Amino acid sequence: SAVISQKPSRDICQRGTSLTIQCQVDSQVTMMFWYRQQPGQSLTLIATANQGSEATYESGFVIDKFPISRPNLTFSTLTVSNMSPEDSSIYLCSVTDSLDYEQYFGPGTRLTVT
């Protein structure tokens, strides 16, 4: 199984600023996913991050707002840009295992925008 860590675990940010969330996996994985969970809601896929190529964004999410980097097979970052209170959510990093069956989640980053 993959062990995923995320930094920071939580943060309180001011409106208009940006925050970069880091996701580190203890093994090499092909695909990494970023999800958002707004308060009291389910998880929504933001984008898929493949190493060496641009991230693929879901409908409603754009690169200017959520730029993603994937410099190698164990690491990715998600930036939440020009934040507003509506961006207050838990952001989760996720990976699939080598056989592409299980999907593992990081502990999440709890973001509050004031």
Partner 1 sequence: AQKVTQAQTEISVVEKEDVTLDCVYETRDTTYYLFWYKQPPSGELVFLIRRNSFDEQNEISGRYSWNFQKSTSSFNFTITASQVVDSAVYFCALSEFMDTGRRALTFGSGTRLQVQP
Considering only 14, 39, 42, 99, the residue that binds partner 1 (CB under 8 A) is 42
Residue 64 tokens, joined: 């200017």
Contact partners, residue 25, CB within 8 Å, separation at least 6: 2, 3, 4, 32, 74, 75, 95
Residue 33 tokens, joined: 């996913």
Could you tell me which stretch among 18-26, 65-73, 78-86, 92-100 binds partner 1 (CB under 8 A)? 92-100
Considering only 22, 81, 105, 112, the residue that binds partner 1 (CB under 8 A) is 105
- Considering the complex, what minimum distance in angstroms separates the CB of residue 85 from partner 1? 19
Distance CA 39, CA 1 (A): 28
Considering only 19, 23, 25, 33, the residue that binds partner 1 (CB under 8 A) is 33
